[in-house]
Structure 1
Amino acid sequence: MPQTDQAAKIRAGQGFIAALDQSGGSTPKALRLYGVEEDAYSSEKEMFDRIHEMRTRIVTAPAFTGEKIIGAILFEQTMDRDFEGKPAAEYLWKERGVVPFLKIDKGLEKEDRGVQMMKDIPGLDDTLKRAKAKGIFGTKERSVIDAANPDGIHAIVAQQFELGEQVLSHDLVPILEPEVTISIQEKAEAEGILREAILRHLDHVPSGQEIMLKLTLPETPNFYQALVDHPKVMRVVALSGGYSREEANARLSQNRGVVASFSRALTEGLSAQQSDDEFNATIAATIDSIYNASIAG
């Protein structure tokens, strides 16, 4: 079974999960928002070095601790690197009291039936064994819903749970992330189909095992309450999904028992040009705002 004290922190801890898992496709945008333009690096290696510098600055900031952050999702390259001379997952848990997760999906297929399924994940069993050995607690895997198409949504949920079973077989806890795009007109309808599909699949999760869910903030407050209260769901977390931090926090605070797992909203306002004092003050204020919204529901 996953580490008991880490499971207890995720299940009942006050705080949120920081998403620090930008991958190759999303890294240039993340760096640009941080004030690092593409002419500041000349290769993929240099690009990943720069994003690791940003992540290191975040996780070593004084406010980045288990007091308000219960977990952090890492990109695979980050898992294989160090923070302040210690392996990333070990540093997060032992030095910061933050439970480490690993992003395992390899991107999305082209849209079909109103959804984008996950691409195949080569060598996943080996990756999961390596993650377990490095002290990773769980995984995160994302796919996207762009329309209220029942066939597509049921297919996406089936794929998520199938992958979740593979993760559970390695004594890791999967965060299933079937993201509903915030801009679609039938968002509320898609959320209804998604909720029912998830509830059906939860019936087949083996007794004694738990999964997590990462969901788009719903149109109706507390819409996912049945999932929050489900005995096979360790925690429901919310993605910011393109909402500003202010709007994401406002929506989050209306959903009881749901906590944040923000990526872009977490790094909003941070800049490579800031002094350490400015950077640390900004990230501390951000952490406070997301924490307060997470515990308000």
Structure 2
Amino acid sequence: MAELSSNEHHHNEVVSYMRFARSRRILRLKTIDSCFEDVKDSRLVEETFTVDEVRDMLSGLQAVVRGEVETELIDTAHTNVLLLRQIFSQAEKFYLRLQTDISELENRELLEQVAELEKTDFKSASKVNQESSKPKLAPLNEGGVSELLNKEIRRLQEENDKLKSRLRTLESQAMGALDERTRAERALKDLQKVQVEQQGPDQSQEVSSLEATVSALRQDYEKTLSCSAASQKDLQLNLVSAKHDLLRVQEQLTLAEKELDRKFQQTAAYRNMKEILTKTQEAAEVRVRRMSLWR
């Protein structure tokens, strides 16, 4: 029956649901049997009946049985919805998106396998010790949660690298603007010194040209500073977003640690995962402090 369940745990879950469905089915069949018994005890008290009397009894019995069957079908559909809701809710905790194939519900081969499972494996499965009430969903393999967290950590690390690259670019632009300003101030001082020593029409024209150059450089410098401020603001927003993502990952890790405490607490995979998250948090905090100092 490998097609119906991937591991022993899920196989036991399938058998548990089949046990529940069978108990509901038996109860409903007993109710239908009681409907027929009621008709026999209350209506079949004479030896002969007319056609109208028989038709009346059958119509009443049909209405009762129809109501019972309809109620059972509705309850079964609603029960299946609640079962799917439990599975989807547990999958969403691990950011999984489950899909269903409605056409497989009418697959005769699979339906025959389910019937065969109920005949052969149901009794043996009933001997398995029942787990505690309201069991929590366990991952399909031990690397499921770790893989999701590692993927999120890698995404944050890539984003950190991009932010660091942008920071280096802004620092380079700022240093270039400072160099331009320093050269402009030096040129202005040299110009003023020459102007004091020599006064003449040629010197005045040169002074005007240098002053225009200095003014253009100053405007470029102010524009560069304005762009740097806007880029710094965007960088700060990205850092805040990255910090929020890191906090969200830490919260996910806390939930995952509680869920998998019995399996992973003593394993090397657990310790490595926690060490990676600790280093990521420390790197993020150092990056935020550096950004604060840089501003």
The answer to whether the superposition gives a TM-score over 0.5 is no
TM-score, normalisation: structure 2: 0.22
Q: Which is greater in Rg?
A: 2
TM-score, normalisation: structure 1: 0.22
Structure richer in strand, relative to its length: 1
Structure richer in helix, relative to its length: 2
